[in-house]
Chains A and B, each alone.
Chain A
Amino acid sequence: MKELLIGKLNWDALPHELFTIAGTLTIVLMGLVIAVVLTRTKRWKWLWNDWLTSVDPKKIGIMYFIAGGVMLVRGGLDALMIWLQQAMSSGDSHGYLSSDHFQQIFTAHGNIMVFFVAMAFVFGLINYIVPLQIGARDLASPLLNTLGFWLFVGGIIMVNMFFVFGGEYAATGWLAVAPLSGKEFSPGVGVDYWIWSLMISGIGTTFGAINFIMTILKMRAPGMTMMKMPLFTWGSLCSMVMAVSVFPLLTATLFLVYFDRVLGTHFFTTLGGGDPMLYTNLIWMWGHPEVYVLILPAFGVFSEVVSTFSRKAIASYKSAVFGMMGVSAFALSVWLHHFFTMGAGADVNGFFGVMTMVIAIPTSALVFNWIATMYKGRIRFDTPMLWFLGFIAIFAIGGITGVMLAVPPVDFQLHNSLFLVAHFHSTVIGGVLFGVFCALSYWFPKFTGFRLNERLGKYAFWCWIVGFCLSFGPMYVLGFMGASRRLDHYDSSTGWQPLFILMLIGGIVIAIGVALQLAQILASFIQKKKLRDTTGGDIWDGRSLEWSTPSPAPFYNFTVIPHVSTRDAYFEMKQHSIPKIVYEDIHMPKNTAVGIYISIFATLASFAFVWDIVWLIVASIIGIIVTFVIRAFDEHTDYILPADEVQKLEEAQAKKTSADDRASAHMANDTDDDMGLWELITIVVSFFLDIIRNKRWRKW
């Protein structure tokens, strides 16, 4: 009877260990703080109407950033725990974590960073910027957009749910290789949480990718042919074509793992005719293209930033486009390089090794392209350009070590060592993360109407560079010394400990860098009047269409969809006079809560799948179907914003803008006057002291 009602759930599943209690308390506390603030400021309705049910890709983009930022801290804390354990655990000391717990931490770290940080930031950027760049008002399907976002949130809930119910996450490594992930070797619910958090966020990603492809291919402004699109849009298109090709592979494979665990099938089991090697192939056929899904938008960002900040067009547009397409195409043909050591034979290994190396060719062509763009330009070294230079150096190391790993006999010595870990962190941090930071500092003024504090930005950048070198430089050496990855302990005779300690110091420096980035955002908000973009939306003298809108752009993006005739469309427009605006009716989608409702049901279903609660599985699936059908047959999902309304809104906004501009004009906009760290700390401390001294909490 009890099983029918609550499946495998029992009292033991509730938090009863230190880290599960701490995790649960943190989640509950965060929820409470948010709830209290919203109640006191009477903003529940605002939150629901303006943000949660919004289908505006700009709002959804910001929500992705916030979610990604929170998960960056969560994944970063995992990283600090790993660094600390490995620095301590030499010889007689076994550190402070048990082996099993340590293994859960690095598994969670990997999943969170890839799925809920990197993908989140990439999706946020594409959502916000691509429609603005191609002259569209929204994505092709606003419904799919909000649904994809909330499924992603469902994935975040599932990957953290184990703190509250179950107490364990997968301890298998981020891709849960078979047969380790099977019922025999991982009997607990950890791997089930792994399956379902990746399942729903993966489906959300697939929907998002379909949406982005539809948008880029079908909703460009008149006159914008494919070869006139901005390079960030190209990078996003290539990325999303790959995503839509490989995420279904992940979904199918996850189902098979689930069936093995719950239905007793024999896909990847050691007995019964199962083939674990099949899992390895399938998961990496998804896994490798996935990392290129992440890097291609970054390549697009860098192409645009280098061009804008060198005040020159990209050296060769065609080469850049074919470079990105080349990377995408080859990325689908290299997956076996993740398991050269599984014994495939020299012909197979050799083939995949060659294909892997070949990717270095279009990537290098891109690098040369960027260098040629800088050549004879007039380069401004604001923060975005700094991130680009950091990327060039670190990603180059990542690329070099990647080609080394592509040589099978060499890979036999480097596979699963810390050399490998250093390689992929060089490419993911140096490439994807720095690309995200570059993009965020480049487009922040577009999102908010004021720029970021340059001073703190530079401090943060240098912390990241120094921290990265300290924590991943020694890692390469450890790889050479024969140190494998994922070890929670090692003999003192190996001599590895000093290097691990150095890495921990590097990790702390990176943590300081992240703290500085958060401080940077805070300081920018505090000083926003001074940092205001008074140029009317074009703070960097940009070249692409997003800079032709005010900052932030109105919810309908463009008053009138522009006609485009060249690449660098806005740059070209600026050379001519602006035609007089003729207002027209604007067709906009209504907000909807369908995405939220379906995702709630999907998350409930996932939870029910993990705990074998059959009635809840059935009920949730019915819920999804019913919600979807109701929405599908709802014929009133759009509305028209009449032309005179648009005119009224714009005139009001123009008035406000010139008033704000006048107010800011008195403030010097010299980056020298950007708030420094000490000044920020003083402000924050005095803010809290003021609350305490004057007992302002009484008003609450």
Chain B
Amino acid sequence: MERSKNRLNPGWIGLIVAAGLASLVLLVAYLVQGKNIALFNPKGEIAQEQHSLMMFTVTVLFAVAIPTLSVAFFVAWKYRDTNTKTVRTTNARVTGGSHSKYLVLLFWLIPTSGIILIASTMWPATHRLAPQNSITSDSKPLQIQVISLRWKWLFIYPEQGIATVNFVQIPVNTPVQFEMTADETPMSSFWIPNLGGQLYTMTSHVNRLNLIADTAGDYPGSTPEINGAGFTGMKFTARADTQTNFDQWVQQVKESPNSLEIGTYEKLVEPSENNPVAFYSGFNSNIFDNVIMKYTGTSEGHMDH
């Protein structure tokens, strides 16, 4: 079969592809300017560390991949059959492999070193950033209990004596420990990307997630794990603000007309979508423990490690 004579020079093809990719990158960058690129917009120590770890990993990977890909495309271009000005191998007949053992060793050593580098950084970081690790800080930690319901989030503040739906406010520079479970809901996931990574919320389990905010602001929260028809609407807002404003807010909520009694709670458990934000001036102190008891027969739940 004869090759086409009016082919585009592969060098030009490479340039067009590169130009195309560059334009795509620029276009996308333009389209997202001013928006919350949460993973590049860490607003707390946990999110910051996760971001740094991600950037480190990407850097090492690109350090290996970009030269490799460049060599690959360069080799493909240089040794194309229409290139008459290059030296080619004379041992096409050799069927047992045509290269030196040391070169082959390199095939394996290069990726191994990259992976060792990433893994040795990843291991201590994974331990440090385990979600149940308390965050060391001068401020006294804030405890918030979370129950995933269909399809909304219930937040209970045991110390402050208030409860909210689809809205959680925290003071900045204060470590927050979320103690999370679920009631009559499939596995869900609790995620505030600006503040840190997610953790699953499951019936009969109590998972602990520690987060901290260093900047005031409203941060979106959601459940990345599908849990039924209404899962898209299961969103909440996490507001970080000064300690003073937080205390003020708690007082305001305490003046809400509604309180989270058992009856109100039972109603919340029933499936509903796109729930508006709600505030409760008080709550029945057995609610969280009852949920655990319902699924495990004990008041402890299965603790994460």
Interface residues of A (CB under 8 A from B): 99-100, 103, 171-173, 177-180, 185, 270-271, 276-277, 280, 310-319, 339, 341-350, 353-354, 357-358, 360-365, 367-372, 374-381, 385, 389, 392-393, 396, 399-400, 403-404, 406-417, 451, 454, 465-466, 469-470, 473-474, 477, 479-482, 484-491, 494-495, 498-499, 502, 539, 543, 566-568, 571-572, 575, 668-672
B111 close to A369 (CB less than 8 A): no
A406 to B189, CA, bound (A): 19
Give 28 CB contacts A-B under 8 Å. Answer: A99-B231, A100-B229, A177-B187, A312-B92, A313-B94, A313-B97, A316-B103, A341-B200, A353-B119, A371-B68, A376-B88, A378-B79, A379-B80, A389-B76, A392-B69, A400-B61, A403-B118, A409-B49, A409-B50, A409-B197, A413-B197, A454-B4, A484-B222, A484-B224, A486-B226, A491-B235, A571-B93, A671-B1
Q: Which among A396, A469, A482, A490 has the highest number of chain B CB atoms within 10 Å? A: A482
Closest residue of chain B to A674 (Cβ to Cβ) is B4
B228 close to A185 (CB less than 8 A): yes
Residue B31 interfacial (CB < 8 Å): yes
Residue B62 interfacial (CB < 8 Å): yes
Interface string of B41-74 (1 = CB under 8 A from A): 0000001011101100110011011001101110
Closest residue of chain B to A499 (Cβ to Cβ) is B31
B61: contacting residue among A317, A342, A404, A481, CB under 8 A = A404
Known interface pairs A315-B99, A407-B126; 14 further A-B residue pairs with C-beta atoms within 8 A, sorted by A's residue number: A177-B225, A179-B187, A270-B295, A317-B96, A343-B131, A364-B110, A374-B72, A376-B79, A377-B79, A404-B54, A407-B53, A417-B224, A491-B235, A495-B36
- Chain B contacts of A480 at CB under 8 A? 37-40
Interface string of B155-197 (1 = CB under 8 A from A): 0000000000000000000000000000010110101011011
A368 close to B107 (CB less than 8 A): yes
Interface pairs A-B: 8 shortest CB-CB:
A412-B197, A345-B305, A495-B35, A364-B111, A416-B224, A482-B38, A180-B186, A482-B193
B97 close to A314 (CB less than 8 A): yes
- Chain B contacts of A415 at CB under 8 A? 189, 197-198, 224
A376 to B81, CA, bound (A): 10
Complex interface residues of chain B between 98 and 157 (CB less than 8 A to chain A): 98-99, 103-104, 106-108, 110-112, 114-115, 118-119, 122-123, 125-127, 129-132
Binds A, one of B20-28, B248-256, B257-265, B276-284: B20-28
A313 to B297, CA, bound (A): 66
Contacts A371-B71, A487-B232 given: A469-B3 contact, CB under 8 Å? no
- Chain A contacts of B95 at CB under 8 A? 313, 543, 566-568, 571-572
Interface residues of B (CB under 8 A from A): 1-6, 10, 17, 20-21, 24-25, 27-28, 31-32, 34-40, 47, 49-51, 53-54, 57-58, 61-62, 64-65, 68-69, 71-73, 75-76, 79-81, 87-89, 92-99, 103-104, 106-108, 110-112, 114-115, 118-119, 122-123, 125-127, 129-132, 184, 186-187, 189, 191, 193-194, 196-200, 202-205, 207, 220, 222-233, 235, 294-295, 304-305
A375 close to B20 (CB less than 8 A): no
B186 close to A502 (CB less than 8 A): no
A410 to B98, CA, bound (A): 41
Closest residue of chain B to A413 (Cβ to Cβ) is B197
A317 to B98, CA, bound (A): 9
A365 close to B108 (CB less than 8 A): yes
Nearest CB of chain A from residue B204's CB, rounded to whole Å: 7
B197 close to A411 (CB less than 8 A): yes
B32 close to A481 (CB less than 8 A): yes
A410: contacting residue among B34, B53, B233, CB under 8 A = B53
B199 close to A343 (CB less than 8 A): yes
Nearest CB of chain A from residue B142's CB, rounded to whole Å: 21
- Chain B contacts of A484 at CB under 8 A? 191, 222-224
Nearest CB of chain B from residue A51's CB, rounded to whole Å: 30
A469 close to B24 (CB less than 8 A): yes
Q: Which among A100, A347, A378, A389 has the highest number of chain B CB atoms within 10 Å? A: A378
- Chain B contacts of A393 at CB under 8 A? 69
B79 close to A375 (CB less than 8 A): yes
- Chain A contacts of B17 at CB under 8 A? 465
B32 close to A499 (CB less than 8 A): yes
B89 close to A502 (CB less than 8 A): no
